[in-house]
Structure 1
Amino acid sequence: MPNTLEAQEYRRLFLEDVPMIDLRAPIEFVQGAFATSTSLPLMSDDEREAVGTCYKEEGQDAAIKLGHSLVSGDLKAERVAAWKAFIDQNPSGVLYCFRGGLRSRTTQQWIIDECGIDYPRVDGGYKALRRFLIDETERLIEKFNIVVLSGQSGTGKTRILKKIPHSLDLEGLANHRGSAFGNTTTPQPTQINFENDVAITLLKAEAAGYKTIVVEDESRNVGSLHVPPSLHAKMTDSYMVMLDVSDEDRVDITVQEYAKDIHLAYCEQFGKDEGLKKLSEHLQGSLAKLQKRLGGERFTRMKQTMDDGITLLSESNDYSGFAGIFGELLIDYYDPMYAYQLSKKQDRISFTGSREEVLNHLSDEANLSP
């Protein structure tokens, strides 16, 4: 009987980052998958749609027959070759379809017949794996002690998180820095992929023996993505550690992360000239999101200041032209909002310190017991 990976082994798949062949159609894959999955579909979107229509109109037997006729001959050989190439590179991997049914069974048998390899099929498929991660997220959120790292915009909270093994970097997983300027040079993941990555991070933290997870103080949304409601609810009721950084350092960090790092990433992707153009569009587009709140006159002035910063960068490779506008945004725009929010959380603050003090405090789980 072909090799089947049962539900009790789901956890191992994610803890060990097992490579997976996703046999679903491309349209299914882009809606949500797993970080270690590779899309090598049994059927294209059009083929899947045709088989689905046939199933509704003529039944299962006719649909199976159509599927075999659509994926046959050279096309079948091409897809088997792609699976074989993946298997050669990832001999300890697995394959799955949506429910662990006909698509994965058929593929598994073709690989056995054509290649002599019994590659494991995930029982229950993608749907069961996704359900497992959803359930584990809820269990682990309830289990873990949560500590929230807070601080004004530009204090470098994410830099701290990256140095703490028992942390959950929501902005990193969401590929967004959580503000009007938070977009990076690449798109955010889908909501499903984000949730899957949160679950896997928590699973690995549990496996490592951690009792406490440190997260950054976030709203319900990180860019276009939603923090799992149960996680956000627990965050709003958890102790907070405050990061205290000088305004000068905050401006330096903001220029580095929101101008220089973004610019260098664009240049790497698109080249020097196009990279500068992309940075300008990125910064002006981000500023435009604040236009109504800033007011027309202030927005126009700040837009010109941003353009001046781009000009200085273009002429002198100097990022200092962004310091003024980012400083104004931090102190006059973001700080008052943060102060108001913090005024409602004072009773939750358990520790306040510098970057080094906060890092030392958070790094020792003994300091974080509830």
Structure 2
Amino acid sequence: MLIELDIDAFIAQKSEFDLLIDARSPKEFYESHIANAQNFYALSDEEHQEVGTLYKQVSRNDAKLLGARYICQNVAHHLEHIAKSYKIGSKIGIYCARGGLRSSSIAIILSHIGYQVFRLGGGYKQYRFYVLSYLENLPHYRFIVLGGNTGCGKSELLQSLQPSIDLEKLANHLGSSFGSIKGAQPSQKAFENSLCEILCKIDPNAYIFIEAESKKMGTCTIPALLHVRLLQGYRIEITAPLEQRIERILKEYESMTPAFFNQAMQMIAPYIKKTVKEAVLHAYEEGNLSEVAKILLIEYYDLVYKKPRHIDAILDNADESATLEALNALHVKLSTV
């Protein structure tokens, strides 16, 4: 069975698929893809480039013949894994870049074997249009926004609150000069896809817990309308004792390499006093990371942090369980108004 679905039907049935196949090249898949998809490519990166060049510069027919040969070889290899992991009759969703030959070639073979195959018409291009349209016309308008100085435990609170969105986790960035310590960030497309997938599962009328962030988080940019909604949200300023803030910073930065530290210090050097920079470097050389964190919190992070003009409430996070209780009570209160 082979059925072609439009994007709305595909999204509605996506959770029912036993396997979701991205038939694009590994390079395309790595940049961004639909959540939970697996990359059973029709053409490898090299093959995709070769066939594309042949198609544009030499002969369309020759390109189709070469592409078909490569696809048959790749599908033969993929079938070994698919057959072992997914029994005949399983539901399989599939897409390629534009809903063309790459996905249709694999879909036809799988359907003839006996799988229930659902192909996305218009391919990944249609999915991206869906994501961008959703974010540009965001139906969610109720946000409880957690702000506050670095190290006050906002991210930890979000992990225990529902519904919530952790933008720093999605962007793999801490939203500061040392924010890229988590490693490589997702592409902007991947960031938007993940954000959309989470939002789609949340009632548009529900209050959503989220952390206050700058529009730019490293290389990722928060969608314009969402950022506006954050600025308009119910703002809670989270505070915490300095000792606890230092402990949290140390946990975040325990994997920091000397090279990363020096690079980050160069970035913030224009914004701190020379004596502060020297004190931080000396503490780091001495291996006193607690002192490094303390100085940076007091002499850099706290000074550059800009409090909003309007704050609806202030919560001290010295006791996380008490803070969570207060936040959950607030959520109930706001939701019943």
Match of 1:53 in 2: 53
Match of 2:103 in 1: 104
Q: Offset at 1:220?
A: 0.8
Q: Tell me which amino acid in the other structure corresponds to 1:361.
A: A
Q: Secondary structure at the match of 2:179?
A: coil
The answer as to 2:162 corresponding to 1:165 is: yes
Match of 2:226 in 1: 231
Match of 2:270 in 1: 292
Task: Give distance in 1, aligned partners of 2:19 and 2:205.
Answer: 25
Task: Give distance in 1, aligned partners of 2:334 and 2:253.
Answer: 31
The answer as to 2:127 corresponding to 1:129 is: yes
The answer as to 2:304 corresponding to 1:337 is: yes
Judged with a 3 Å threshold, the aligned counterparts in structure 2 of structure 1 residues 18 and 194 are, in CA distance, closer, same or farther, namely farther
Deviations 1:156-214 (A, max 9, x none): 100111111111110011111111122244311111111111111111112xx761112
Q: Tell me which amino acid in the other structure corresponds to 1:65.
A: L
Q: Secondary structure at the match of 1:236?
A: helix
The answer as to 2:210 corresponding to 1:188 is: no
Match of 1:177 in 2: 174
Q: Secondary structure at the match of 1:120?
A: strand
Match of 1:144 in 2: 141
Match of 1:283 in 2: 261
Judged with a 3 Å threshold, the aligned counterparts in structure 2 of structure 1 residues 228 and 18 are, in CA distance, closer, same or farther, namely farther
Q: Tell me which amino acid in the other structure corresponds to 2:123.
A: G
* Aligned residue pair count: 332
Match of 1:243 in 2: 238
Q: Secondary structure at the match of 1:201?
A: helix
The answer as to 2:103 corresponding to 1:79 is: no
Deviations 1:129-163 (A, max 9, x none): 12112222233x34331221111111010011111
**Contact 1:243 1:358 (8 Å CA) reproduced:** no
**Counterpart pick for 1:353 among 308, 315, 331:** 315
Superposition pairs of residues 17-32 of structure 1, within 5 angstroms:
19-32=19-32
Normalised TM-score (structure 1): 0.80
What RMSD in Å do the two structures reach over aligned CA positions? 2.7
Gaps of 5+ in 1: 264-277, 310-320
Match of 1:272 in 2: none
Q: Offset at 1:297?
A: 4.8
Match of 1:275 in 2: none
Q: Secondary structure at the match of 1:346?
A: coil
Judged with a 3 Å threshold, the aligned counterparts in structure 2 of structure 1 residues 126 and 83 are, in CA distance, closer, same or farther, namely farther
Task: Give distance in 2, aligned partners of 1:128 and 1:305.
Answer: 53
Runs of 4+ that moved beyond 6 A? none
Q: Offset at 1:302?
A: 1.5
Match of 1:219 in 2: 214
Q: Tell me which amino acid in the other structure corresponds to 2:114.
A: G
Q: Secondary structure at the match of 1:143?
A: coil
Identity, in percent, stands at 27
Task: Give distance in 1, aligned partners of 2:175 and 2:117.
Answer: 41
Q: Offset at 1:331?
A: 1.2
Q: Tell me which amino acid in the other structure corresponds to 1:164.
A: L
Task: Give distance in 2, aligned partners of 1:163 and 1:16.
Answer: 28
Judged with a 3 Å threshold, the aligned counterparts in structure 2 of structure 1 residues 17 and 135 are, in CA distance, closer, same or farther, namely farther
Task: Give distance in 2, aligned partners of 1:8 and 1:232.
Answer: 26
Task: Give distance in 1, aligned partners of 2:88 and 2:151.
Answer: 42
Task: Give distance in 1, aligned partners of 2:49 and 2:158.
Answer: 45
Task: Give distance in 2, aligned partners of 1:183 and 1:200.
Answer: 24
Task: Give distance in 2, aligned partners of 1:302 and 1:179.
Answer: 17
Worse overlay, 289-298 or 44-53: 289-298
Higher helix share: 1
**Contact 1:284 1:306 (8 Å CA) reproduced:** no
Q: Offset at 1:354?
A: 2.1
Deviations 1:45-97 (A, max 9, x none): 2222222233334665443222113344x555223334444544993441111
Task: Give distance in 1, aligned partners of 2:103 and 2:57.
Answer: 23
Deviations 1:276-307 (A, max 9, x none): xx633333333332223235554243223112
Deviations 1:91-119 (A, max 9, x none): 34411111112111111112234x43343
Task: Give distance in 2, aligned partners of 1:89 and 1:306.
Answer: 59
Superposition pairs of residues 200-211 of structure 1, within 5 angstroms:
200-206=197-203, 211=206
Gaps of 5+ in 2: none
Task: Give distance in 1, aligned partners of 2:298 and 2:270.
Answer: 18
Judged with a 3 Å threshold, the aligned counterparts in structure 2 of structure 1 residues 279 and 213 are, in CA distance, closer, same or farther, namely same
Q: Secondary structure at the match of 1:147?
A: strand
Task: Give distance in 2, aligned partners of 1:249 and 1:8.
Answer: 47
Task: Give distance in 1, aligned partners of 2:119 and 2:244.
Answer: 52
Judged with a 3 Å threshold, the aligned counterparts in structure 2 of structure 1 residues 286 and 359 are, in CA distance, closer, same or farther, namely same
Q: Tell me which amino acid in the other structure corresponds to 2:103.
A: S
Task: Give distance in 1, aligned partners of 2:267 and 2:40.
Answer: 39
Normalised TM-score (structure 2): 0.88
**Contact 1:15 1:200 (8 Å CA) reproduced:** no
**Contact 1:99 1:126 (8 Å CA) reproduced:** yes
Q: Secondary structure at the match of 2:235?
A: strand
Task: Give distance in 2, aligned partners of 1:70 and 1:143.
Answer: 45
Judged with a 3 Å threshold, the aligned counterparts in structure 2 of structure 1 residues 189 and 13 are, in CA distance, closer, same or farther, namely farther
